[in-house]
């Protein structure tokens, strides 16, 4: 992650919730369990999870920023949800792997480095990188871009 691309507000939230320079979280359990379900870990998702894995954020509105609830735990958010992955990969034209949750959405990282939100109703682009995703989460009025599914 390029920490210097984040606002002071976002950096402070990550630090408050357990991030630090050089953090490397062991993702072996998640990798093995989710790959057994059919998911395929991509390099970008691996990098994100090693740096941000198991960080949970519950942030309230502060000044011009909106609050958000999200985490970086792909097992809790996506285990048992593999059935929708093929449809999401076709629609996004990207190979994606779950990296956590934002409220009721599963958050996916693509090989393209794009970050997506998925639920039973659809797929959305929320950032062109994890840094942009983290900034967009706190932007007042930000709306992710809906990706049309082939239904």
**pLDDT for the residue 24:** 98
CA distance 64 to 94: 33
CA atoms within 13 A on the CB side of 66: 13
Q: Domain limits of the chain?
A: 3-147
CA dihedral 60→65→66→70, nearest 10 degrees, is -70
Percent of the chain with pLDDT over 70: 99
pLDDT for the residue numbered 149: 87
Query: Strand (E) positions, 4-121?
Result: 56-59, 68-71, 96-102, 105-110, 115-119
Widest pairwise Cα distance in the chain: 44
Per-residue pLDDT reduced to its tens digit, 93-113: 999 999 999 999 999 999 999
Tell me what pLDDT residue 151 has. Answer: 62
Confidence of residue 146 (pLDDT cuts 50, 70, 90): very high
What is the reported pLDDT for 61? Answer: 87
Average pLDDT for residues 104-127, to the nearest whole number?
A: 97
Residues 64-103: tens digit of each pLDDT = 888 999 999 999 999 999 999 999 999 999 999 999 999 9
Average the pLDDT over 125-142 and give the result.
96
């Amino acid at each position: 992650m390029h920490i210097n691309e984040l606002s002071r507000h976002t950096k402070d939230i990550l630090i408050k919730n357990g991030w630090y320079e050089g953090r490397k979280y062991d993702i072996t359990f998640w990798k093995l369990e989710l790959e057994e379900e059919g998911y395929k870990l991509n390099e970008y998702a691996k990098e994100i999870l090693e740096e941000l894995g198991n960080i949970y954020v519950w942030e309230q509105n502060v000044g011009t920023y909106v609050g958000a609830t999200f985490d970086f735990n792909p097992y809790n958010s996506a285990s048992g949800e593999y059935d929708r992955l093929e449809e999401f990969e076709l629609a996004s034209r990207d190979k994606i792997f779950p990296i956590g949750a934002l409220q009721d959405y599963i958050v996916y990282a693509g090989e393209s480095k794009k970050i997506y939100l998925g639920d039973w109703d659809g797929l959305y682009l929320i950032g062109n990188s994890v840094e942009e995703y983290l900034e967009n989460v706190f932007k007042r009025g930000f709306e992710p871009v809906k990706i049309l599914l082939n239904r």
